[in-house]
Every structure is written in structure tokens, then in C-alpha cells.
């Protein structure tokens, strides 16, 4: 498929051929859903933890006699039914990550790129380079282009001035091609690929 290429000043810079096997698929929600779940589960901290009855700080002495009190039988005050006692079968520190094959993750990235292309939310730009690292200058460019909640994916390396200038602009994210992922692509309103970024993604996903 052919796509028009623009410059940062919104002027035309020709066109580019995008691989239909990567940008021309019919997006499948089930594939995208599985890959997004994989990403979110992998980054979940899993540091939730409560104390069991062996970890609470009360005495382990039996609180009263087994028989003769007219009350229920109890051991020490660390039991879960007492205030300050341990928690029964509470959460433990663990990883929430689950496996998903590399082949399937690559397929998910293809479907995410195709979803943006199908929705008309894919823009190809010549290069993203800035002469200075001033945020105000780049903010004017972004406003003129009408970009809101945009993800820019460049080639192997991102221009340092452009990266520094973009850091304090709300709704603008910049990634190298190696960092391209399904979750960030789908949550953006507009996906912007540089020519180098498009070529790098095609080389990565073939």
C-alpha cells in the first residue's frame, strides 16, 4: 500500500510503499487483546503482601485454658479471627507475567499497525529532527499539525534535540523502532512513523 509522506512543516515529501503483510491486515480484536494483557501483566509489580499468623507480633502463648471458660477454643492471638492477627491465604509477592510466544507478539504488532492504517490514524513523516532542544518550538509544530495524543516511532536512534524537546509536551511520546509495542500504539490517537521507522519495523516483522 502507498502512503503519503509529509515533513514537520506539513509540506509533502513524496510517498512510500508500506508492506501489506504488516500494514494491510484486517485487525483482529482478540489478538490485540491477548498481547495487551500480556504487556500489562508483565509490567504489574506484584509486590502486594500481607502477614500470615506466623509473621504477626503477638505472643504465641495460648490465651486461656482449652476447657472450662464457656467460650470457644483458641490458641494464640495471631489467629486470623482476632484484631491484629494474621491474614488467611492473603496475597503474596509474585509475578503476574504469563507466557506468549514471540511469533504471536510479532503478529499482534502487525495487527496494531494495520489497525491504525485502517482507521486512517497513521501518518508517515520524512524525519523528526530539531535544531534546538526547546520545547516551545516543537510545541508550535505539534499544534500546527493538529496532533493530540500522538506516538512517534523513529528508526534505530531518535534525534537527541527532538527527544529532549518532546519530553515536556503533554500527549506526545517518542520511541525508537525497537521500543514499538502494541499497547502504546493502540492508546495513541495518531501513530506517526518516520521513513526510517517504517523501514525498521518492516525489517523487524518480516
- 3-state DSSP call for residue 40? helix
Which residue, among 109, 97, 121, 122, has the nearest Cα to 32 in the 3D structure? 109
Note the pLDDT of residue 185. 97
Q: What is the pTM of this model?
A: 0.84
- Domains, the chain, in order of start with CATH, read 2-29+99-205 (3.40.1370.10)
Asked if 31 and 108 count as a contact pair (C-beta separation under 8 A), the reply is yes
Question: C-alpha grid cell for residue 76?
Answer: 494464640
What string of pLDDT tens digits covers the 206 residues of the chain? 899 999 988 898 899 999 999 999 999 999 999 999 999 999 999 999 999 999 999 999 999 999 999 999 999 999 999 999 999 999 999 999 999 999 999 999 999 999 999 999 999 999 998 888 999 999 999 999 989 899 999 999 999 999 999 998 999 999 999 999 999 999 999 999 999 999 999 999 98
Integer Rg of the chain from CA? 27
Amino acid at each position: 500500500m502507498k502512503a503519503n509522506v509529509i515533513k514537520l512543516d506539513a509540506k509533502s515529501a513524496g510517498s512510500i510503499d508500506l508492506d501489506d503483510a504488516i500494514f494491510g491486515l484486517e485487525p483482529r480484536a482478540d489478538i490485540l487483546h491477548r498481547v495487551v494483557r500480556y504487556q500489562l501483566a508483565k509490567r504489574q509489580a506484584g509486590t502486594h503482601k500481607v502477614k500470615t499468623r506466623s509473621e504477626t507480633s503477638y505472643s504465641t502463648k495460648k490465651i486461656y485454658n482449652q476447657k472450662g471458660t464457656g467460650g470457644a477454643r483458641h490458641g494464640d492471638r495471631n489467629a486470623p479471627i482476632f484484631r491484629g492477627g494474621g491474614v488467611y491465604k492473603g496475597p503474596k509477592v509474585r509475578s503476574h507475567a504469563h507466557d506468549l510466544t514471540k511469533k504471536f507478539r510479532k503478529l499482534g504488532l502487525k495487527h496494531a499497525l494495520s489497525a491504525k492504517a485502517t482507521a486512517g490514524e497513521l501518518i508517515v513523516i520524512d524525519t523528526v529532527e530539531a535544531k534546538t532542544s526547546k520545547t516551545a518550538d516543537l510545541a508550535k509544530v505539534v499544534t500546527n499539525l493538529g496532533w493530540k495524543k500522538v506516538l512517534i516511532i523513529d528508526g534505530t536512534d531518535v534525534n537527541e534535540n527532538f527527544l529532549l524537546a518532546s519530553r515536556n509536551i503533554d500527549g506526545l511520546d517518542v520511541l525508537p523502532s525497537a521500543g514499538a509495542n502494541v499497547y502504546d500504539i493502540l492508546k495513541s490517537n495518531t501513530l506517526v512513523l518516520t521513513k526510517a521507522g517504517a523501514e525498521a519495523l518492516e525489517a523487524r516483522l518480516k
